[in-house]
């Protein structure tokens, strides 16, 4: 017998899981997502979330409360009489009263190897820190921030030039597969959980918070170590996009650096060491592999350099 499921999610990351649960035959009685946001140049167009668009495609009922502070919203959730709530990047904190409503609890898909990287930006912070691997976990939600016990885990390596976009897409697909497995086991009564203190003792992963990305972090300083600078570029790609000022035959312009690799090299920090976008750092150098000029599209360094020479001896750095 299929479970009665409430799905709660908002961005594109959540869509594969919603689609997979629907394809698995579960009775999705409602989809919760954040309300449409203002978009367009003047902010006059209301744009529904990717999850809302997918729910409408699937013919599923959509609800988009601002929060659950209103008693009517909590009562409407309770009236769904669901077995389980599946939460994947919903973006709103659920009060304890809501967490307690589903008969078999609330399951969350979280993109890190808990207890490492609890919080808002686990994918970005794992890349920035130089972690060799990350993963997707299905956990039971509780009042604390990403502190609940974990049921299922799938690990995935982080390559030296993986960006947040790369890892985001990979983990979204892993989440879909893992959540279908979790609901199968929940339905069969075989879904077991391990508390995060036990995981920390077994793996050596200490709890650490993945702070939300501040746009101010995206301005690059090339006086540091090349490995750390390359990781920051990759971690902040595509958003907010690590940036610097560079000249392409004219006045310096702001350019986003969207994929990079650390290499050997020696020179004053910010100096272009060759004509293929190798930038000297305090230690070593970073090779720029993808970038985006102001008002332009994302492109590979090779594509840019075919039409726009960037000779050695130039400079990169904040204005």
Q: CATH no. for residue 171?
A: 3.40.50.170
Q: Which of 210, 227, 247 is the last residue of a domain?
A: 210
Same-domain pairing of 54 and 155 = yes
CA distances from 309 to 231, 292, 303 (A): 26, 15, 11
Same-domain pairing of 74 and 186 = yes
Same-domain pairing of 232 and 103 = no
Same-domain pairing of 311 and 294 = yes
Structural domain that includes position 300: 216-317
**Model's pTM, two decimal places?**
0.94
If one counts the domains in the chain, the total is 2
pLDDT of residue 218: 96
pLDDT of residue 42: 64
Same-domain pairing of 200 and 244 = no
Phi-psi region of 197 (alpha: psi -120 to 50; beta: other; left: phi over 0): alpha
Same-domain pairing of 69 and 192 = yes
The binding site comprises 112-115
Q: Which of 163, 189, 210 is the last residue of a domain?
A: 210
Same-domain pairing of 168 and 201 = yes
Same-domain pairing of 138 and 67 = yes
pLDDT of residue 250: 82
Question: Count of alpha carbons within 13 Å of 292, Cβ hemisphere only?
Answer: 16
The binding site for (6S)-5,6,7,8-tetrahydrofolate comprises 112-115
The CATH number of residue 278's host domain is 3.10.25.10
pLDDT of residue 223: 97
pLDDT under 50 in the chain at which residues?
Answer: none
Q: Which two tokens stand for residue 23?
A: 């394809």
291 touches 256 (CB < 8 A): yes
Same-domain pairing of 173 and 224 = no
pLDDT of residue 249: 82
Q: Which of 210, 239, 274 is the last residue of a domain?
A: 210
Residues 6 or more apart from 256 whose CB is under 8 A from it? 237, 241, 242, 243, 291, 292
DSSP H helices, the chain, are 15-23, 50-58, 71-78, 96-99, 122-129, 164-188, 196-203, 226-235, 301-307
Same-domain pairing of 241 and 142 = no
Same-domain pairing of 237 and 283 = yes
């Amino acid at each position: 017998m299929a479970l009665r499921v409430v799905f709660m999610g908002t961005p594109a990351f959540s869509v594969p899981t919603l689609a997979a649960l629907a394809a698995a035959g579960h009775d999705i009685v409602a989809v919760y997502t954040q309300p449409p946001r203002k978009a367009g140049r003047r902010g006059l167009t209301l744009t529904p979330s990717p999850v809302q668009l997918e729910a409408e495609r699937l013919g599923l009922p959509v609800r988009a409360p601002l929060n659950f502070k209103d008693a009517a919203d909590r009562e409407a959730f309770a009236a769904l009489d669901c077995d389980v709530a599946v939460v994947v990047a919903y973006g709103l904190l659920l009060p304890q009263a809501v967490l307690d409503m589903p008969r078999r609890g609330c399951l969350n898909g979280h993109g890190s190897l808990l207890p490492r990287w609890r919080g808002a930006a686990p994918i970005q912070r794992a890349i920035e820190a130089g972690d060799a691997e990350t993963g997707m976990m299905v956990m039971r939600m509780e009042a604390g921030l990403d502190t609940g016990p974990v049921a299922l885990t799938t690990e995935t390596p982080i390559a030296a030039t993986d960006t947040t976009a790369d890892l985001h897409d990979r983990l979204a697909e892993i989440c879909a597969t893992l959540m279908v497995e979790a609901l199968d086991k929940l339905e069969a009564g075989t879904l077991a959980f391990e508390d995060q203190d036990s995981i920390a003792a077994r793996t050596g992963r200490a709890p650490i918070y993945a702070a939300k990305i501040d746009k101010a972090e995206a301005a690059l300083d090339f006086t540091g170590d090349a490995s750390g600078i390359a990781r920051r570029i990759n971690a902040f790609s595509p958003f907010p996009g690590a940036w610097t000022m560079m000249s392409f035959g004219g006045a310096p312009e702001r350019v986003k650096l969207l994929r990079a690799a650390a290499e050997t090299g020696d020179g004053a920090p910010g100096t272009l060491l060759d004509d293929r976008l190798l930038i000297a750092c305090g230690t070593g150098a970073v090779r720029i592999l993808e970038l985006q000029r102001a008002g332009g599209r994302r492109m590979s360094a090779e594509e840019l350099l075919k039409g726009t020479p960037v000779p050695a001896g130039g400079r990169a750095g904040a204005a």
